[in-house]
Structure 1
Amino acid sequence: MYRALHDNWTLSGPDHAGVPATVPGCVHTDLLRAGLIDDPYVDDNEHLLGWIGRTDWAYTTTFRWAPDGHDRVDLVFDGLDTVAEVELNGTVLGRTANMHRRYRFDATAHLREGGNVLRVTFTAPYAYAEAEEARLGARPGPYDEPYQFIRKMACNFGWDWGPTLVTSGIWRPVGLHSWSGARLAAVRPQVRADGVDVTVEIERARTAEAVAVTATIDGTGVEVKVPEGATTATLSLDVADPRPWWPLGYGEQHRYELTVTAADDTWSRMVGLRTVTIDPDAFRIVVNGTPVFVRGFNWIPDDCFPARTDAATLETRFGQAVGAGANLLRVWGGGVYESDAFYDLADRLGLLVWQDFPFACAAYPDDLAAEVEAEARDNVERLMPHPSLVLWCGNNENIEGYQHWGWQSSLGDLTWGASLYHSVLPGVVAALDPGRPYWPGSPYSGAPDRDVKDPSTGTVHIWTVWGSDDYTRYADYTPRFVAEFGFQGPPVYATLRAAVSDDPLTPDSPGVLHHQKAAGGNEKLLRGLGAHLPAPATFDDWHYLTQLNQARAVSFGVQRFRSLMPYCMGTVIWQLNDCWPVTSWAAVDGAGRRKPLWYELRRAYAPRLLTFQGSALALVNDDAAPWTGTLELSRRSLSGAVLASSSVPVTVPPRAVLEVPLPPELSTAGDPRRELVVASAGPARAIRFFEEDPAVDYPVAAFTGTVAAVPGGYEVTVTATTVLRELALFPDRLDPAAAVDDLLVTLLPGESATFTVTTGLELAAADLLSHPVLRCVNEARP
């Protein structure tokens, strides 16, 4: 029997006492709710709150309890952040030092009939981490923060997209578990294509005696007796006529309920029957014997305060990932192991999950081995029932750091984590979850002595483009699998305006700069425009053009890597989401609004893609059926006149790419400044201009527009009189709650596009059709 203990909590610190507290939660959100601090996401309030992470805090609650006839009562914490002492009725039950683990304490002898007092005292995270750094020796990392010395969400200490908001608190559920006889201490289902083998570990509350353990799935049941003195058993169940679980786009996500019982303790989960392997050289994820081309996103914590990320938020965010065409999320190593709701949702949708163990971008002391092993065992056991989880990864960029970031000279004889990634973590996975692949880190080329930057094997991260090179540099890469790449853009206007009170907003006004955490980020944004787009003259230009350039840059990379299929078998974009309102690499900003990048990725990640690659057109068919039709090609003037054309019957096999060379009359312009090439095959279309936008002799944009009220908003129809390059509608400038169904649509003369705007406000038609709400590259400036 389980009883949650989420009521009547108060928070206390040196200058605060009896603050009403919410559990699960954290100090920041409790102080914010009580009106004792300002919103850390607004302006530079973050800088005023550094004291919270340097302060000890205590959470206290009282609850009533009466004996319930069970042999034992455990106090169970699903998550304590991070260094804590747990005290019940004046007795210390235990101490913790890991945000990423669950904890269970025997409270039987310490509970009182009637009133009980539970107190959790948290040591300041900085005090603990800095003491560990002094004890173990300083090690290199990207920031002047000690996050590698505490088993806590690393990005709490700030990142190049996140604020420094170092938390404490009871961040996941807490409760009392009453039980008798025996309990299921661990249940580890190893699925196969035709059934499941379940290993159980039991804990006894009474004298050692045989315990009956049963397991059932799809109407089939098995029972074993765990004899006196034994604690483990394995039960094998076969499923008649098994139906496999498939990733999104490859088949159904069929799942079976698996139930395991020991004494009066029952464990039940939905499992999927499937196999998964990784080709270590080509780095192909193979599910049920079928290679999967990964169209993915990196996932960071969706809020700096993870307890605020509820199931409804996850539903929205996963819908945005799937809506953009993704089939995988990589849970990045600077965050957390996500909630059960996260993986349940991925299972249901067929969205694959790549799970980093939480180590990122720093040298970690191998002295953490015992704690890391306990953490890994806990989370492998918790998450292994999920069919969506297809990969355990040891860390993010730590092996690259050791090879390429100058660590070796500064480390001397100090360890940097090698034994964690090459021994401890793979040992846990091999022992507990051998049916699921383990990969030591990313980037990684398949063996410790290989250079992680070798694109011919394993995974690579490509950051030269954002760091120093033009985005066309993606065309020079021929990788096997790209696990990180991206380009920055500012958040949606309504998001930025709500978070920054600068008046006026400018690209370098104080609040805008505070919400840009990347070193030299705004300079890189402007440099990245290069020859591709005109220099912005106003803030509105800067906002539109840098968002547009982000969309173009990432789409360029996606299309390049998809055109290399099956040599390249994955693109995982940095990143899907943000944890607060910030200029970043995300496709969905910190308020959950879709940036122009998201809409462009929906086209670039479509199962069937047309993409110009060099002197050829690539038809990418990531579908189970052949793509058969007619490829229409034409070279046109900007006025729409057809100057040359061809029609080619095409058949692209399933999960394949067909390259069609462009004939000279289509690939060579008579007047590059006034011509373009159009390719179409069914609904798929691609347009290539012969010159970059500043060099194109565009006519000033001309169009007709109509606005019609529809349930829930408006339909805005734009008909092009001239070419309209990447037409975009930004209704959030009129109503922060408004959204639009499409963006960045290029129209040729005579073509029309209809945008559906959802809003609860009455908006003027003239406003919806005017600058800066309606924009295109070749617009007439006001």
Structure 2
Amino acid sequence: MFVRYIFDVTGQLKAGDNSIEVRFLSPIWISEKLAEEQEQDYVIPPQCVPDSYKGECHVNYLRKIPASFSWDWGPAFPSVGIWKDIYLEGFDLTIIRYVVAEVLEEGENWILSIDTYFAPPREQITGDLVFSLETENEPIRLSNMITLDEPNEFGEVVNTTNITVPKTSVQSWWPNGYGAQPLYTLSVSFAGSTEANTKQIQIGFRKIEIIQDELESGRSFYFKVNDAPIFAMGVNVIPFDILPEKSYNPETVERLLSAVATYTEMNMLRVWGGGVYESDYFYELADKYGLMIWQDFVFASAMYPANDDFLRLKEVNHQVKRIQSHPSLALWGGNNENEGNLASNYFNTADNFDVYKEDYIKLYIETVRDEMRRVTKNANFVDSSPTNGVESDNEGYVAKDPGSSFYGDDHYYSNNKDSFDVDIYPVPRFSSEYGYQSMPCVSSWLAATDNLTDLNINSDFMNHRQHHPDGNDPLKKLTEFQLELPSEDNEFYDEAFIYYTQIIQAMSIKIETEHYRTYMSRLDDQGRGHTMGALFWQLNDVWVAPSWAAIDYTGRWKMLQYFVPGFFSQEIVTGLYNADKNLEIFHILNKAHGDGEKWLNLTVYAWDSFTPVNVTKLSLGNPEALTATSVATIDVDQYLSDAGCGSLDDAKYNCFFHMIVGIGTTTITPPNYFFPSKFKEAKLQTSSLEIIAVDNFDAEGLRFLIAVKAPAPSLFVWLDAHEVKGHFLENGFVQHSIVAAVIFVADEPTTEEQLKGALTVTHVKDAKYFS
């Protein structure tokens, strides 16, 4: 599936009509047949996906999207056929097949190393190879007379040319939030005696390194771009559709990536190893938006054969040549979780460990890694994810504890612990996967069913769509840690349950992310910390179902997506609550943001009033970039009691904290909150909210100002435009003023009357849930 197939049909074509017929075998049938043949030697586990996935078996014997045989977030749709363009290609002697341009730094210059790959010529030919590079000044041109002959030992006809590009003639490409993303057109032309052809690509000038320096305990693990350390803030991407030919819809790709880059300061996407190599347009947009790509090769959560067919993989050669030139391409990963699966005996491989380890090294190190390094000059690579990086290599490529807090990256999931308790979370060097499930909203469910009874958490429909091995139990359990659910005989119970799961998902990932960010520049007493990356799971969905996604299959944003700009801002303030009932307040700064003395306002509100109970202003000075600074530690019960929230025993139920940072009269961080008690124990007011105005303020009918009135401070105020597609600039917010103003951006022209008729608003203690 991941290879470009080229057949010479010169001797087959005839004048007039011709037909091409391509026959496919069932992937389910052929995978079973291959497994039967292999099992004469030893089993390659897992033989099937877990029963809860409701899927098919032996996908690890095929070079096909593993998720197509089902995953915990998607159905089994093992499609068959040609999923990209098929075309005839005509030339007399040769044609340029690939241009791979890599940028190397050399003092005051960039060295642009260009590998031009040709179709094997039918005879020896000589021609003019011309390079033209756009710059900020005059184009740089270079012309070489070359001779193309027999392919090299790898079957390639390739020319390597280096071009010196003064740094003064181009601007550097930066990740989102750190600078601009200038792109320059590189044209490569070859003209022989009878024909000529040209290939163009867009390139950017940047240096991306992975730093794994030795520390007193372990090694660091972080990205450095153009010599600047970067805290990676991002998300994991799964296929844009379970039928991958549909995922190449440019509108889908644009919608998802613009939601990441335009409305948040995320700077990295991890393209997960059980998916597909995304469309060319995906990488073009990543270049444009400054989204660094952590690109897994397509091996995930399984052992794989190391027979001759697998060890002759051509996909590495093709895919690296196809996308390596993109400035957004930051890292290649050999596989997803397979080092950890082997080390932990997840697939019961311990009795034959040496054999499986030998296969692992043959496939991911001697085949995938070595072929990637042969085709590239400066690409970054890690064997797996999670992995201990250099330490895994030192331990023979399968570490005893991949995902150690002292090396490399880590994956963390938990479904049975209080997700608001920061003490459950690890303190890794880099967190490349973590997440919590939630339900899509009611309007999205109704795109998949017109039967409202299907939305009951225990319905056959819901059980079919939920592929988590523990079913919907974790959703209910995690919700009940924090919130009081309405009575199950309440007519709005299903709506409330769906909405509450989105609250829990958004708050859990917010709390976990901010926990990681507080360790950016510090170590704990065990030597854990210097955390420099947080990539949550996951951005998107492949169907309407319970999942870890921030944006559901219909394109609607869950509450999590609305929370991302807050917890992934370059500068934030947050509070961590510890077992001693102390709130430690941190100011976190990724990069320089404003000059001058900064202040932090700590405001206390009671649940029954819009008037602050107490305001304390703290001086922060002018903190340095890449620091997470503890600025205050507060005994919560005593502080709130002294502020006027009640007795020591009751104060935490009556009040909450609001935090914000500013310079002079300007606030410079998103507002943040700390809730000292569980929501179900807090003295929240049961009430209904009211939409009091909807005003269109642009000529196209796309942007609207919505005013929401509340009788008391309200939690997770949720606006829904239902059938009017679009998104709000703020949603799921805490309303601590009588009227809140929110902007809605419609996907297509809409009238005020249409939007008024569609809009609803709710909050945690909506009277309809508890009447």
Normalised to the residue count of structure 2, the TM-score between the two structures is: 0.83
Q: What SS does structure 2 have at the residue aligned with 1:477? A: coil
Q: Do structure 1's residue 653 and structure 2's residue 640 form an aligned pair?
A: no
Q: Do structure 1's residue 266 and structure 2's residue 221 form an aligned pair?
A: no
Contact 2:177 2:265 in 1 (8 A): no
User: Displacement of 1:502 after TM fit?
Assistant: 3.1
Q: What SS does structure 1 have at the residue aligned with 2:591? A: coil
**Residues 118-159 of structure 1, C-alpha deviations (whole Å, 9 max, x = no match):** 111111111221111112223223446211000000000000
Q: What SS does structure 1 have at the residue aligned with 2:764? A: coil
The equivalent residue for 1:8 is: none
Residues 737/477 of structure 1: CA separation in 2 closer, same or farther (3 Å cut): same
User: Displacement of 1:486 after TM fit?
Assistant: 0.3
Instruction: Please identify, of 406-415 and 330-339, the stretch whose mean Cα deviation from structure 2 is larger.
Output: 406-415
The separation in 2 between residues aligned to 1:469 and 1:117, in whole angstroms, is 62
The separation in 2 between residues aligned to 1:608 and 1:341, in whole angstroms, is 31
Where does 1:700-719 land on structure 2 (aligned, <5 Å)?
A: 700-701=686-687, 705-710=691-696, 711-712=701-702, 715-719=705-709
The equivalent residue for 1:232 is: 158
Q: What SS does structure 1 have at the residue aligned with 2:75? A: coil
User: Displacement of 1:727 after TM fit?
Assistant: 1.0
User: Displacement of 1:529 after TM fit?
Assistant: 1.4
Q: Do structure 1's residue 426 and structure 2's residue 369 form an aligned pair?
A: yes
1:249 to 168, 174, 177: 177
Instruction: Please identify, of 704-713 and 172-181, the stretch whose mean Cα deviation from structure 2 is larger.
Output: 704-713
1:778 to 751, 765, 769: 765
Q: Do structure 1's residue 593 and structure 2's residue 556 form an aligned pair?
A: yes
Q: Do structure 1's residue 621 and structure 2's residue 589 form an aligned pair?
A: yes
Contact 2:121 2:149 in 1 (8 A): no
The equivalent residue for 1:546 is: 501
User: Displacement of 1:330 after TM fit?
Assistant: 0.8
The separation in 1 between residues aligned to 2:3 and 2:755, in whole angstroms, is 54
Letter in 2 for 1:568: T
Q: Do structure 1's residue 296 and structure 2's residue 244 form an aligned pair?
A: no
The separation in 2 between residues aligned to 1:107 and 1:695, in whole angstroms, is 74
Where does 1:91-170 land on structure 2 (aligned, <5 Å)?
A: 99-137=1-39, 138-141=43-46, 142-143=49-50, 145-170=57-82
The equivalent residue for 1:482 is: 431
1:397 to 337, 359, 382: 337
Q: Do structure 1's residue 678 and structure 2's residue 658 form an aligned pair?
A: yes
Instruction: Please identify, of 367-376 and 185-194, the stretch whose mean Cα deviation from structure 2 is larger.
Output: 367-376
The separation in 2 between residues aligned to 1:151 and 1:766, in whole angstroms, is 50
Q: What SS does structure 1 have at the residue aligned with 2:575? A: strand
User: Displacement of 1:629 after TM fit?
Assistant: 2.5
Unaligned runs of 5+ residues in structure 2 are: 51-55, 151-156, 213-218, 488-492, 522-529, 578-582, 642-650, 662-666
User: Displacement of 1:518 after TM fit?
Assistant: 1.2
User: Displacement of 1:598 after TM fit?
Assistant: 0.7
Contact 1:249 1:623 in 2 (8 A): no
**Residues 724-775 of structure 1, C-alpha deviations (whole Å, 9 max, x = no match):** 112111221xx25364332111122545333537484775898777xxx321
The equivalent residue for 2:84 is: 172
Aligned residues: 678
The separation in 2 between residues aligned to 1:591 and 1:419, in whole angstroms, is 41
Instruction: Please identify, of 424-433 and 707-716, the stretch whose mean Cα deviation from structure 2 is larger.
Output: 707-716
Residues 228/441 of structure 1: CA separation in 2 closer, same or farther (3 Å cut): closer
Instruction: Please identify, of 603-612 and 294-303, the stretch whose mean Cα deviation from structure 2 is larger.
Output: 603-612
The separation in 1 between residues aligned to 2:286 and 2:280, in whole angstroms, is 10
Q: What SS does structure 1 have at the residue aligned with 2:541? A: coil
Contact 2:695 2:752 in 1 (8 A): no
**Residues 88-125 of structure 1, C-alpha deviations (whole Å, 9 max, x = no match):** xxxxxxxxxxx000011111111111100111111111
Where does 1:179-218 land on structure 2 (aligned, <5 Å)?
A: 179-193=91-105, 194-218=110-134
Q: Do structure 1's residue 605 and structure 2's residue 568 form an aligned pair?
A: yes
The equivalent residue for 1:695 is: 681
**Residues 436-469 of structure 1, C-alpha deviations (whole Å, 9 max, x = no match):** 1000010001213341131121000001x23656
Letter in 1 for 2:189: T
Residues 368/542 of structure 1: CA separation in 2 closer, same or farther (3 Å cut): farther
Identity of aligned residues (%): 25
The separation in 2 between residues aligned to 1:368 and 1:774, in whole angstroms, is 60
Residues 531/412 of structure 1: CA separation in 2 closer, same or farther (3 Å cut): closer
User: Displacement of 1:190 after TM fit?
Assistant: 2.0
Q: Do structure 1's residue 440 and structure 2's residue 426 form an aligned pair?
A: no
The separation in 1 between residues aligned to 2:672 and 2:71, in whole angstroms, is 37
The equivalent residue for 1:507 is: 457
Q: What SS does structure 2 have at the residue aligned with 1:200? A: strand
The equivalent residue for 1:576 is: 539
User: Displacement of 1:712 after TM fit?
Assistant: 4.2
Contact 2:721 2:755 in 1 (8 A): no
Q: Do structure 1's residue 223 and structure 2's residue 211 form an aligned pair?
A: no
User: Displacement of 1:329 after TM fit?
Assistant: 1.0
Letter in 2 for 1:130: E
Normalised to the residue count of structure 1, the TM-score between the two structures is: 0.82
Residues 223/766 of structure 1: CA separation in 2 closer, same or farther (3 Å cut): closer
Q: Do structure 1's residue 276 and structure 2's residue 216 form an aligned pair?
A: no
Letter in 2 for 1:311: P
Contact 1:716 1:757 in 2 (8 A): no
Question: What is the aligned-residue RMSD (CA, Å)?
Answer: 2.4
Contact 2:123 2:149 in 1 (8 A): no
Contact 1:189 1:196 in 2 (8 A): yes
Q: Do structure 1's residue 559 and structure 2's residue 514 form an aligned pair?
A: yes
Residues 115/665 of structure 1: CA separation in 2 closer, same or farther (3 Å cut): closer
The equivalent residue for 2:252 is: 313
Letter in 2 for 1:408: T
The equivalent residue for 1:80 is: none
Letter in 2 for 1:126: I
The separation in 2 between residues aligned to 1:764 and 1:215, in whole angstroms, is 55
The separation in 2 between residues aligned to 1:430 and 1:746, in whole angstroms, is 50
Contact 1:626 1:653 in 2 (8 A): no
User: Displacement of 1:377 after TM fit?
Assistant: 0.5
The separation in 2 between residues aligned to 1:210 and 1:426, in whole angstroms, is 34
Unaligned runs of 5+ residues in structure 1 are: 1-98
Contact 2:707 2:739 in 1 (8 A): no
The equivalent residue for 1:634 is: 603
User: Displacement of 1:601 after TM fit?
Assistant: 1.6
Q: What SS does structure 2 have at the residue aligned with 1:118? A: coil
The separation in 2 between residues aligned to 1:623 and 1:592, in whole angstroms, is 31
Q: Do structure 1's residue 730 and structure 2's residue 717 form an aligned pair?
A: no
Q: What SS does structure 1 have at the residue aligned with 2:19? A: strand
Instruction: Please identify, of 316-325 and 390-399, the stretch whose mean Cα deviation from structure 2 is larger.
Output: 316-325
The equivalent residue for 2:645 is: none
Residues 205/686 of structure 1: CA separation in 2 closer, same or farther (3 Å cut): closer
Letter in 2 for 1:589: D
Residues 190/739 of structure 1: CA separation in 2 closer, same or farther (3 Å cut): closer
1:354 to 285, 294, 297: 294
The separation in 2 between residues aligned to 1:687 and 1:119, in whole angstroms, is 62
**Residues 2-45 of structure 1, C-alpha deviations (whole Å, 9 max, x = no match):** xxxxxxxxxxxxxxxxxxxxxxxxxxxxxxxxxxxxxxxxxxxx
The equivalent residue for 2:446 is: 497
Residues 269/256 of structure 1: CA separation in 2 closer, same or farther (3 Å cut): same
Instruction: Please identify, of 490-499 and 532-541, the stretch whose mean Cα deviation from structure 2 is larger.
Output: 532-541
Letter in 2 for 1:605: F
User: Displacement of 1:645 after TM fit?
Assistant: 3.4
The equivalent residue for 2:525 is: none
User: Displacement of 1:581 after TM fit?
Assistant: 0.9
**Residues 271-305 of structure 1, C-alpha deviations (whole Å, 9 max, x = no match):** 11111111233221111111111111111111111
The separation in 1 between residues aligned to 2:309 and 2:381, in whole angstroms, is 18
More strand by share: 1
Contact 2:457 2:472 in 1 (8 A): yes
